[in-house]
Amino acid sequence: MPKVTFLIPASLSRAFLSQIAAFNLALSRLTWDRWQPNLLVCMGDNLDSNALTEWRPHLRNVAIVFAPRSHSETTGSFYAQIDGLFRWAPEDADVLVRMDADTLPVDGFEDVLDYVSHTKSIAGVMAHFAFPTSPGMTSRESWLHAVDGLISAPLNFRQAYSLTGADVPEENRLAPFYVNDGAVFFPKALFSEFARLYLHLRPKLMDRLADPYFSGQIALSLAVAEMRAPTCALPMRYNFPNDELAASRFPEELEHVKIFHYLRTHDFDRQRIFADENSYHDFLNAPLTGANKVFQQRVRKVIGPEFPFRTLPDRGLFSPPLQMT
């Protein structure tokens, strides 16, 4: 049976560990007919050993690696943990999926795994909007400035940002294959070359951007372009945000969500909803609407009406953290 490995960056805190525990539990409750799933988490700095002890029973089959302190000092803990996923991903996975901690699988998506593996394509949902630009620059100009001299391949502006309206001029609406990195699918055949290019490009972008936060997502696009890799812009259901604009524009996708990305924080605290029993019940009983209500319903269905992360005895089934070098 082919293997799919989910790669999640995180900080060692109760908030992140609770999200990972929820993700892992949801994975275990999906139906897997053709694929064998597993989860690798790369932790950056700001380590809380008490949090790991507390959440350890709920992460029994999760592999955890720690980015070396030297990486955190060079890149900052945020990118130390993300870059680490591409450095230390397992070599035996047939498909690798880079995920964010604030994502939750709520329905089966083996169809995408089959497609990515068979076509050797890199797949993801297009980013919602253009990345921040310098004053007076269009999105296209910002792309050309960012890429100048870094890759040899041209950028093809053939895709549209997923939540940008059709009334927006093309220079601010169209983009290369630029996906929201909350859920990106890679075939084994392309991953090693992608990782090499990504790790080379990402640091070089930091000083070229109005907001360096986006360097990873942009490096992903440039690496894919340089490889001339086959790509697939997926429907919104495979990385659906808890966003009312997305709900109004893609109601049919909301009805068939496979992966929720609960990144919006207007109606609940994403770092608390799985962290303790009271917060979980408050979330399930909150008067939510739209995309948040659908997310709430899917959490109740997949995770359950009762808080699932009460203390369990540690029977030694947890994959111990590894300090990488």
pLDDT digits (tens, 9 = 90+) for 79-132: 899 999 999 999 999 999 999 999 999 999 999 999 999 999 999 999 999 999
Tell me: pLDDT of 319 over 50: no
Indicate whether 324 pLDDT > 80.
no
Identify the band that residue 68 occupies on the pLDDT scale cut at 50, 70 and 90.
confident
- 15 SS3 class: helix
Topology at the third CATH level for domain 3-323: Spore Coat Polysaccharide Biosynthesis Protein SpsA; Chain A (3.90.550)
What distance in Å separates the CA atoms of residue 250 and residue 323, rounded to the nearest whole number?
Answer: 43
Residue 45 has a pLDDT of: 64
Angle at CA 308, nearest 5°, toward 304 and 313? 150
pLDDT (average), residues 178-203: 98
Average pLDDT (177-192) is: 98
Note the pLDDT of residue 12.
87
Confidence (pLDDT) at 252: 98
Confidence bin at 1 (pLDDT 50/70/90): very high
pLDDT for residue 311: 66
Note the pLDDT of residue 49. 75
d(CA 31, CA 177): 30
pLDDT at 86: 96
Helices (H), the chain: 14-29, 49-55, 69-75, 77-88, 110-119, 139-147, 170-173, 188-205, 215-227, 244-249, 251-254, 277-285, 290-302
- pLDDT higher than 80, residue 69: no
**What tens digit of pLDDT does each residue of 11-35 get?**
989 999 999 999 999 999 999 999 9
- What tens digit of pLDDT does each residue of 267-312 get? 999 999 999 999 999 999 999 999 999 999 999 999 999 999 986 4
pLDDT recorded at residue 60: 85
Residues 6+ apart with CB under 8 A from 118: none
Answer yes or no: is pLDDT of 318 > 70: no
Confidence of residue 44 (pLDDT cuts 50, 70, 90): confident
* H-helix or E-strand spanning residue 66: strand 62-66
Average confidence (pLDDT) over 167-181: 97
What pLDDT is recorded for position 310? Answer: 83
Residue 315 has pLDDT above 70, yes or no: no
Mean pLDDT computed over 43-54:
79
